[in-house]
């Protein structure tokens, strides 16, 4: 038997290890730039690496996920998409499917199409939150390359329940926003390049987790998991736990309630959509742009129709009536140019774009 087949045989044997025999549960989240980071981490793991690994990678809902196949080329640890109610086993890599959240509950996985969080499904926060609630201080959370701040709240929950927080060094990340946001809001345990995360996980897997610290299981955490798992929101009176805001959900237009834990703020609607403050700002400014172009389209169509009707009136030898239509079309054209200029100059705002703008202004001032 060659070495490749021997390793696969060992994996099949270790796959039956009782989950309670492992010291750790590994959850990893990434967005843009995550693929290379995943490969660097996974290839450093030995074939008998016992802790199960759960991965969320932001992707288009209609994309065909290649991550399981890619990871299976760099390791003999079996990588596959998790399926709903699948029993969790050691020595496995479970990956969220496109357009589905991946959660951990009672030794099994939940794979759901619950409401999007931070504009994504799958989202990182639900996985981290559910893992922390289910396995407490045994969880190791890892945030890798990506934009905005999905994963920051989830990593904070991992730390709250006594787990270990690891963040890819922003200087090593293709897109540093997610690592930077996590570092700013969470007291992380390790900040290292992706190439060092694998060996760090190996070391942590051999160390027993710290003693339990009698953390109170949060009601918000439990109910938040239930919402993503497609439970009924109103039955749990979830929104009463937050503070009503003047904002409406960009996706369903429901009222948003604010939930704050330390410096981390999240906004939730009764349908279950969740936003960080950064994701909400970006989504709202995206909606403004869409609204401006929608208004511009309506104005252009009205101008075309007015001119078309004016032509018909002129052809019917009604020049005075035609002139009224042509005049109104000209007035509307002038107003539409203001809308067009506003749409072109409109900015989609996020913490990253605002910080870059501030740095550019400071640089220009120094020059």
Return the beta strands (E) in the chain as ranges. Answer: 25-30, 53-57, 78-81, 92-95, 101-105, 108-112, 139-143, 164-168, 190-192, 243-248, 255-261, 264-269, 274-276
Residue of 31, 50, 153, 350 marked catalytic: 31
Catalytic residue among 50, 58, 153, 336: 58
Could you give the CA distance from residue 134 to residue 102 in angstroms, rounded to a whole number? Answer: 13
CA-to-CA separations, 94 to 53, 124, 347, 359, in angstroms, rounded: 6, 14, 38, 40
**How many Å apart are CA 70 and CA 55, to the nearest integer?**
13
Query: CB neighbours of 242 closer than 8 A, spacing ≥ 6?
Result: 257, 258, 259, 268
Closest CA to 123 of 37, 29, 36, 186: 29
Euclidean distance between CA atoms 298 and 183, whole angstroms = 45
Catalytic residue among 125, 149, 150, 278: 150
Q: Assess whether 58 carries a catalytic annotation.
A: yes
**At residue 275, what are phi and psi to the nearest 5 degrees?**
-135, 140
Is 231 an annotated catalytic residue? no
Instruction: With CA atoms as reference, report the closest residue to 124 among 152, 86, 159.
Output: 152
To the query of whether residue 150 is one of the catalytic residues in this protein, the response is yes
Mind telling me the catalytic residues?
A: 31, 58, 150
């Amino acid at each position: 038997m060659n070495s490749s087949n021997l390793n696969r045989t060992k994996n099949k044997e270790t796959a039956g290890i009782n989950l309670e025999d492992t010291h750790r549960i590994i959850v990893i989240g990434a967005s843009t730039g995550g693929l290379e980071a995943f490969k660097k981490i996974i290839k450093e793991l030995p074939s008998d690496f016992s802790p199960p690994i759960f991965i969320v990678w932001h992707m288009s809902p209609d994309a065909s996920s290649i991550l399981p196949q890619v990871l299976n080329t760099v390791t003999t640890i079996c990588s596959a998409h998790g399926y709903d109610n699948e029993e969790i086993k050691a020595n496995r890599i479970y990956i969220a499917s496109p357009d589905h959240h991946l959660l951990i509950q009672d030794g099994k996985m939940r794979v759901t199409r619950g409401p999007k969080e931070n504009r994504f499904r799958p989202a990182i926060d639900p996985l981290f939150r559910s893992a922390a609630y289910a396995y407490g201080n045994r969880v190791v959370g890892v945030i890798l390359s990506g934009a905005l701040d999905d994963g920051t709240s989830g990593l904070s929950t991992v730390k709250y329940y006594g787990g270990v927080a690891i963040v890819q060094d922003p200087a090593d990340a293709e897109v540093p926003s997610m690592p930077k946001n996590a570092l700013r809001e969470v007291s992380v345990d390790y900040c290292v390049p992706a190439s060092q995360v694998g060996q760090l996980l190996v070391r942590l897997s051999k160390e027993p987790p710290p003693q339990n610290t009698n953390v109170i299981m949060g009601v918000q955490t439990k109910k938040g998991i239930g919402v993503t798992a497609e439970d009924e929101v109103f039955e749990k009176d979830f929104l009463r736990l937050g503070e009503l805001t003047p904002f409406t959900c960009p996706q369903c237009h429901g009222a948003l309630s604010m939930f704050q834990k330390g410096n981390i703020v999240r906004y939730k609607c009764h349908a279950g959509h969740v936003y960080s403050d950064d994701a909400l700002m970006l989504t709202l400014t995206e909606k403004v742009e869409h609204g401006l172009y929608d208004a511009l389209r309506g104005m252009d169509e009205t101008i075309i129709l007015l001119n078309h009707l004016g032509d018909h009136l002129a052809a019917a030898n009604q020049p005075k009536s035609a002139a009224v239509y042509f005049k109104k079309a000209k007035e509307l054209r002038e107003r539409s140019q203001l809308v067009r200029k506003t749409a072109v100059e409109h900015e989609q705002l996020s913490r990253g774009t605002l910080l870059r703008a501030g740095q550019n202004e400071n640089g220009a001032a120094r020059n």
